[in-house]
A = this chain, B = another copy of it.
Amino acid sequence: MDRPELPLQQLHAFVVLAEELHFGHAAARLGIAQPPLSQQIRRLEDKVGHALFHRAPGRVTLTPAGRELLPAARRALTDLTDGLAAARAVGSGRTGTLRIGFAASLALTVLPGLLRTFRHRFPGVRLDIHEMTTAPQIAALHDRTIDIGLLREPPADQPELGFRTVLSEPFVAVLPAAHPLAAQRTVRLAQLADSPFVLLPREVGPQLRDRITGLCAEAGFTPRTAQHAVEWQTVCALVETGLGVSLAPASIRRIRLKGVAFRRIEPGDARTRVAVAWRENDPNPLVAHLLAAVGQDRPDRV
């Protein structure tokens, strides 16, 4: 691609003159005097190397060369004006695409409200939503596959990423309805020591997993993992079948299953945090916009 060394004004003058076919009128439309317009056209013709207009007494006509150039000139000008407008729209964050990764469980809590407020404020922005667990979200942020992550237990060792807590919620015990402890309103953690656990595999979210096993450790035992499941939906389903118990963020109570009971735990100060994550120094204005929306969208705490 070589660089055609033309001032765009000349092209614009050319297009206008091609429409008016009258130097005086075209100059008026361009807001300049007639002699400068003659110069512009002349310079352009010099650069092309051929006449673009045929000046007959009384009428100005396009030459074949001019007719050939006209559509290209028009296209170039509209391409540029449109491109500039689009770039400005994207630059100001009025339009564009924001790619968001989110943990499946958040589809029940923070995600809907967040999307609603954002879409309301930026209707021109397309949101690409990808369900993914915590660890892949971190990787995808680094990959620039997503721009925003919505995850649990933000990891600490991520200097290039920013995190902001959106929600902090307690843990609950997840029990089969038939489990003896389901009769209590509150379950002490130590009481779960002997039950098999259904847990998330460590790979999908090391922080949350470690958090849970840490809670158990504080209560004096190491949970025995009977089964792994990647989604909380599945965890609850497995608990319902009696395969074991679990510890989960309170918001998963929204998953209603007849055979599952959720109970507060003792000690009750253990909380898990949901955070938005983004690349520090991400120039995308939509990221800033979303973070601002997060600041104002304070969804119902569970």
A interface, CB within 8 angstroms of B: 1-9, 11-12, 15, 47-52, 54, 56, 61, 63-69, 71-84, 86-92, 96-97, 281, 283-286
Contact = CB atoms under 8 A, between A and B. Distances in A.
B8 A5 contact: yes
Contacts of A49: 88, 91-92
Specify the main secondary structure of chain A where it touches its partner.
helix
Given A1-B15, A2-B81, A87 B66 contact: yes
Contacts of A77: 1, 3-4, 76
Contact of A75 (B79, B90, B92): B79
The 3 closest A-B pairs by CB, nearest first: A72-B83, A50-B91, A65-B91
A79 B79 contact: yes
A87 B3 contact: no
A15 B198 CA distance: 54
B8 A283 contact: no
B6 A80 contact: yes
15 contacts: A1-B74, A1-B81, A4-B84, A7-B8, A48-B88, A49-B91, A52-B87, A63-B283, A64-B97, A64-B284, A65-B87, A66-B87, A68-B96, A72-B84, A72-B86
A76 B83 contact: yes
Nearest to A51: B283
Nearest to A61: B283
B50 A81 contact: no
Contacts of A286: 64
Contact of A80 (B61, B76, B92): B76
A75 B50 CA distance: 24
A184 B5 CA distance: 75
A50 B88 contact: yes
Nearest to A98: B64
Contact of A87 (B8, B69, B281): B69
A76 to B, nearest CB: 4
Contacts of A285: 50, 64
Given A47-B84, A48-B87, A64-B91, 8 more contacts: A1-B12, A1-B15, A4-B80, A4-B81, A7-B8, A48-B88, A51-B91, A72-B80
Nearest to A16: B1
A48 B8 contact: no
A67 B9 CA distance: 25
Contacts of A54: 281, 283
Contacts of A72: 79-80, 82-84, 86-87
Nearest to A86: B68
B76 A76 contact: yes
Contacts of A68: 83, 86-87, 89-91, 96
Contacts of A284: 63-64
